Amino acid sequence: MARVMANKNIGLVYGGASIGVMGAIADAVLEEGGEVIGIIPKELFVKEVAHTGITELREVSSMHERKALMAELSDGFIALPGGLGTIEEFFEIWTWAQLGMHHKPCGLLNVCRYYDKLIDFLDHTVSEQFLKDVNRSMVFVEEHPEVLLQKFESYKAAKVKKWIGRKTI
């Protein structure tokens, strides 16, 4: 992912940690000569072991401020395999897209089929009519970074007037 990003001159905006997948992707983007901006809340600065070797590290007061600033600075959103925080942040940014709060692409990098069961669940929400297909199609899922970023380049935000029907039960 880092190599593809650097080759396309795409910088990384991420949570600011030096450990875990977050730290690994930041290090890899830096090694490839790319720009890395990290955003980390004060209370997590020490707890998450903030990455002080990146291009720019911004300290914010809360998780809410962190996510808002990451969204503002980013041109698109990709979730790599991760835990609860990754999933929560991805679902929030996708919800913002569904509500028309941004018009940026969202994608899951499905490394080693990591997200297969989540994708099955998302498709299930469509079949059960809790999610419209147009909203489900806002999320690209690819195993290869090159393909995912190609889809990002041609992304056009869906125009949805309303996201649920008004039928009474």
Domain ranges of the chain: 1-74, 77-152
What does CATH list as the number for 77-152? 3.40.50.450
Check the CA dihedral 123-99-1-7 and report its sign.
positive
pTM: 0.90
State yes or no: pLDDT of 165 exceeds 80.
Answer: no
Q: Per-residue pLDDT tens for 44-76? A: 887 878 999 999 999 999 999 999 999 999 999
The pLDDT tens digits of the residues spanning 95-123 come to 999 999 999 999 999 999 999 999 999 99
Q: Which CATH class name applies to 1-74?
A: alpha beta
Give Cβ neighbours of residue 90 (< 8 Å, ≥ 6 apart): 77, 79, 106, 108
pLDDT tops 60 at residue 29: yes
> Are 16 and 67 within 8 A, CB to CB?
no
